[in-house]
Structure 1
Amino acid sequence: MSVINHHVPDALLAAYAAGNLPHAFAVVVASHVSMCPQCRAGLQAHQVVGGVLLEETETVAVSAGMKDDILSLLDAPYTPEPVYERSGVYPGPVMQALKGRAPRWKTLGMGVRQDILSEDRHGSVRLLYIPPGQAVPDHGHNGMELTLVLQGSFSDETGRFGVGDLEIADEELEHTPVADPGEACICLAATDARLRFNAMLPRLLQPIFRI
């Protein structure tokens, strides 16, 4: 595993520990944490703090009816979700989003491909495959974008991002990510709003590519 230089900010780790992140962002954070001992330790610290706060929170009485309803759920049939292990360059959380299958790549042109893992009104998360030397069209953001490198690396106006690195982009960043020479760059990317492309052709194709 290469050295990870770009980590999950503490505020995002805290939100993930509290279960307050949208699904798309949670998949990316979980994937990074599975690859990064430093952020895994940070997450565990937040979970410990959360447990202490729960223990110190004043209890509130519930009605007998609510208690009976909750206890009845314990008798309901329960089928646990399968636990997915890492497969190749894809961490366990990505394999869970893929439901154990291989990516189903769809071409975006110029050798770039994507597989949309999930999409709802809160955002989307997708895998991106970018050939060496290929650039993603110059774009800005209407919200936040998290990009985690799973294979290869890319560079943009903010620096270089290798395996395990997480780039966080917001409305202020406009960039042109370019896959570095060597092996193809595979990224896990989550957004909570459509990208803001500067060139006409990407803007025309945006509704089709759903990015």
Structure 2
Amino acid sequence: MSAITHHTSDALLAAYAAGNLPHAFAVVVASHISLCAECRAGLQAHQTVGGALLEDVETVDVSPQLKGDILALLDAPFTPEPVYDRSGVYPGPVMQALKGRPPRWKTLGMGVRQDILSEDDNGSVRLLYIPSGQAVPDHGHNGMELTLVLQGSFSDETGRFGVGDLEIADEELEHTPVADPGDACICLAATDARLRFNALMPRLLQPIFRI
């Protein structure tokens, strides 16, 4: 694997360490950490600081209502751990999201395929398969999008992203990602809002593809 040059932000690492990231984003961050020694060290630093702060906190009694609310959190989607085992191009957290099965690809047209791994009111996470040389339609964002490259690479207005690289997009970014020559580009992408496509046909198909 080539050197990783695009990393998760410190703010995302801190939120992940605190368990405050939405599940979809947590899957992507955990997958990136499993591939990136630099961000793994950053996560350990945040966890060390968090542990030291907890040691200084005095224990207090809580009300039955608050205790019930805390216990209810056990039923919420868990924050995935950055498992370091891999299966082919898929990091451990992706295999957890797949529940050990191979991807169930569904076509989006022009050879592009997707497998939606999870989707709820807070966002979605999916695998994307983009053939070499194929472009994703020009689009912007109504929220944040994290895109982690698992195979191949893609390029857009902000640069080139290879295996292990993480692109962080926000409402200000308008781009047209294109898979580079070579292997098909397989990405793990998470969003907390629908994309904002500029062309009519992608906008018409958007409710069907749930992207």
Measure the CA separation in 2 of the matches of 1:27 and 1:193: 16
Question: What are the ranges of 5 or more consecutive residues in structure 2 without an aligned counterpart?
Answer: 71-82
DSSP-derived class of the 1:174 partner: coil
Give 1:2 deviation, angstroms. 1.0
Match of 2:181 in 1: 181
Give 1:3 deviation, angstroms. 0.3
Count of residues in Structure 1 that have an aligned counterpart in Structure 2: 198
Check if 1:48 corresponds to 2:51: no
Question: What are the ranges of 5 or more consecutive residues in structure 1 without an aligned counterpart?
Answer: 71-82
Who wins on radius of gyration, i.e. which is larger?
1
- Provide Cα deviations, 1:164-194, integer angstroms capped at 9, x if missing partner: 0000000000000000000000000000000
Q: Percent identity?
A: 88
Measure the CA separation in 1 of the matches of 2:165 and 2:95: 19
Give 1:25 deviation, angstroms. 0.1
TM-score, scaled to structure 2: 0.90
Match of 1:76 in 2: none
Give 1:84 deviation, angstroms. 9.0
Match of 1:169 in 2: 169
Give 1:62 deviation, angstroms. 4.3
Give 1:86 deviation, angstroms. 1.3
Q: Is the 8 A contact 1:85 1:95 kept in 2?
A: no
Measure the CA separation in 2 of the matches of 1:50 and 1:100: 32
Measure the CA separation in 2 of the matches of 1:134 and 1:16: 33
Measure the CA separation in 2 of the matches of 1:25 and 1:49: 22
1:103-142 residue pairs with structure 2 within 5 A?
A: 103-142=103-142
Match of 1:159 in 2: 159
Measure the CA separation in 1 of the matches of 2:58 and 2:195: 44
Match of 2:79 in 1: none
1:1-211 residue pairs with structure 2 within 5 A?
A: 1-62=1-62, 85-211=85-211
Q: 2:103 corresponds to which letter in structure 1?
A: P
Q: Which runs of 4+ in 1 moved over 6 A?
A: none
Give 1:59 deviation, angstroms. 1.9
